[in-house]
Amino acid sequence: MDHNYLLNLLKCFSEIMAENRNYLIELDSVVGDGDLGLTMSDGFAAAYKAALEFVGEDVGKLLYNSGKAMSAAVPSTMGTLMASGFMNAGKLLKEKTELQLSDIYELFRAYMDGVSARGKAKIGDKTFLDGFYPAVESLQTSVQNEESLVSAAQKASAAAEQGFHNTTTMIAIHGRAATRGEASRTLLDPGAAVAMLMMKAFEKSTK
């Protein structure tokens, strides 16, 4: 895999966020201000556009530039968090031109670390991380088992979806949902939905 695979991955991210814009708006309108669908569709579209315009084969720089473009396009809380993920992954993969499954794992792990560092959230706080972390763990296992990219992506997608649904067992710690206290427990977290959609897009990118 090379930078062309990342172009396809970013395209899949952009497409799935556009396709699920109204779904994210609906989820976010329950616990937030309802703009998540617009933020994510516009933000990932900007990231993909920047990737298309990037000249060169350095996958790290491609990801970093995509993150910068996303940050400029959607300077909201969630937009900044997602952009931070791209930029952190870009720093880790700087100067790489070829990718193995282990690099894809590192990409997503670095993405998660970038989001976590920026947002100061932890696993179990009912956020994006609770959908993303199970997928990253699944990818690590797939690398250890020397699985194919297709198999790894399928399992990561399933893990993220389960993580998303598991947010109905958690109390929100951050954002407007946190003001609901115990009443937030049964609600699905919109951020974790974004994580699930990213992993569904990852699965699609391998087909």
Q: What is the CATH number of the domain that holds 155?
A: 1.25.40.340
Cα–Cα distance, 158 to 91 (Å, whole number): 28
The whole-model pTM stands at: 0.94
Q: What average pLDDT score do residues 102-121 get?
A: 95
Q: Could you tell me the residue range of the domain that residue 69 belongs to?
A: 3-205
Residue type at 54? F
Q: What average pLDDT score do residues 171-182 get?
A: 60
> What pLDDT does residue 2 have?
81
> What pLDDT does residue 186 have?
54
Backbone angles phi, psi at 23, to 5 degrees: -60, -45
Handedness of CA 92, 162, 191, 133 (dihedral sign): negative
Ranges 32-36, 129-133, 139-143: which has the least confidence: 32-36
Q: How many domains does the chain have?
A: 1
Answer yes or no: is pLDDT of 170 > 80: no
